[in-house]
């Protein structure tokens, strides 16, 4: 049975709850990684997800940021924040900002480690926010280096706030000075990718015009003026199991949408006894 893992920057769980529940009911992902939940742990609305059969792990923050994992299968080894010396400031991890949560999902065909991230936006650039973005991506690179060494079926997904290549934007020229497309940001992303990860979408297609974000401003959606900034990066052991990767563009046309749409991978994990 294939395993479906979706990543969705929902831009506020209070504002997006009806849309989110409709999406879960319509598309029934096995695992949903959420970013920008913008709510404290203690205020997270567990009930509607538990009613739908999801286990919930949250790394929340009041007002900003915040990530969560929903899983129909058991969640084990949940970890909040990048586990390095800079975590756990103000008890939130990640220097006081809740941007990372990981868990192991156990299935009858083996385990999958899911790392759900919300990278800093980094604007305006240059400046302290841009410096923080680059520092955070460097910490993520160290994490990704260690994870590769474990040779696990594992993935990173989420809002990376990086446009990897010009073909990942409708109008790349308009993003040249932006923290999402500056050479330093793209290099930081590619340093992680080139450790040995697979960009799941690009493993399936080299088509341009595949976007995950359209700004609310200026009729960006109407003009299809989008960018691709939500990504799945798979370890080699995970990439071997990739069936498909799809951007759920149709979600952007719904009532009161997020400015991001979900991206989903479908994996076929090894059968029992198959190493």
Q: Which is nearer to DNA, 63 or 183 (CB)?
A: 63
Rounded CA-CA distance 54/75 in Å is 10
Interface with DNA, residue 212, by CB under 7 A: no
Compute the least distance from the CB of residue 115 to DNA, in Å. Answer: 19
Active site residues: 118, 159
Q: Which is nearer to DNA, 24 or 154 (CB)?
A: 24
Judge whether 235 and 197 are in contact, CB under 8 Å: yes
Question: Per-residue x/- mask for DNA, residues 60 to 79, rule CB under 7 A?
Answer: --xxxx--------------
Picking from 140, 165, 239, the residue whose alpha carbon sits closest to that of residue 196 is 239
Picking from 273, 213, 240, 83, the residue whose alpha carbon sits closest to that of residue 155 is 240
Question: Per-residue x/- mask for DNA, residues 148 to 187, rule CB under 7 A?
Answer: ----------------------------------------
Among 217, 253, 272, 275, binds DNA (CB under 7 A): 217
Stretch that binds DNA, among 59-67, 71-79, 148-156, 169-177 (CB under 7 A): 59-67
C-alpha of 216 from chain center: 20
The pairing of strands 154-159 and 230-234 is antiparallel
Q: Which is nearer to DNA, 174 or 250 (CB)?
A: 174
Q: What are phi and psi of 253, to 5 degrees?
A: -90, 0
The pairing of strands 110-118 and 154-159 is parallel
- In the sheet where 154-159 sits, what is the strand order? 75-80, 100-107, 110-118, 154-159, 230-234, 198-199
Enter the tokens of residue 135.
């520092």
For DNA, how many residues bind (rule: CB under 7 A)? 21
Question: Per-residue x/- mask for DNA, residues 33 to 52, rule CB under 7 A?
Answer: -----xx-------------
Name beta bridge partners: 213: 227, 260
Question: Per-residue x/- mask for DNA, residues 116 to 145, rule CB under 7 A?
Answer: ----xx-x-----x----------------
Judge whether 122 and 161 are in contact, CB under 8 Å: yes
Q: Which is nearer to DNA, 129 or 204 (CB)?
A: 129
Interface with DNA, residue 15, by CB under 7 A: yes
Binding site for DNA (CB under 7 A): 11-16, 38-39, 62-65, 120-121, 123, 129, 216-219, 256
């Amino acid at each position: 049975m294939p395993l479906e893992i979706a990543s969705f920057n929902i831009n506020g769980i209070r504002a997006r709850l009806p849309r989110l529940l409709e999406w879960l009911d319509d598309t029934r992902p096995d695992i949903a990684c959420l970013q920008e939940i913008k709510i404290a742990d203690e205020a997270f609305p567990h009930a509607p997800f538990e009613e739908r059969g999801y286990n919930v792990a949250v790394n929340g923050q009041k007002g900003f940021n915040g990530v969560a994992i929903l899983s129909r299968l058991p969640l084990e080894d949940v970890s909040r924040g990048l586990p390095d010396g800079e975590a756990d400031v103000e008890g939130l991890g990640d220097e006081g900002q809740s941007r990372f949560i990981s868990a192991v999902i156990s299935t009858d065909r083996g385990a999958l480690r899911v790392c759900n991230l919300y990278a800093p936006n980094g604007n305006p650039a240059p400046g302290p926010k841009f410096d923080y973005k680059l520092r955070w991506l460097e910490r993520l690179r160290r994490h990704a280096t260690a994870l590769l060494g474990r040779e696990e079926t594992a993935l990173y997904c989420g809002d990376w706030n990086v446009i990897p290549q010009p073909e990942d934007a409708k109008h790349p020229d308009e993003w040249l000075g932006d923290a999402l497309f500056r050479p330093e940001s793209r290099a930081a992303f590619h340093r992680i990718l080139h450790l040995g990860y697979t960009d799941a979408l690009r493993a399936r297609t080299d088509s341009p015009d595949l976007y995950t974000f359209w700004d609310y401003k200026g009729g960006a959606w109407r003009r299809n003026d989008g960018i691709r900034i939500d990504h799945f990066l798979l370890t080699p052991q995970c990439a071997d199991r990739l069936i498909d990767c799809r951007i759920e563009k149709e979600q952007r046309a719904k009532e009161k949408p997020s400015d991001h749409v979900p991206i989903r991978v479908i994996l076929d994990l090894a059968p029992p006894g198959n190493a």
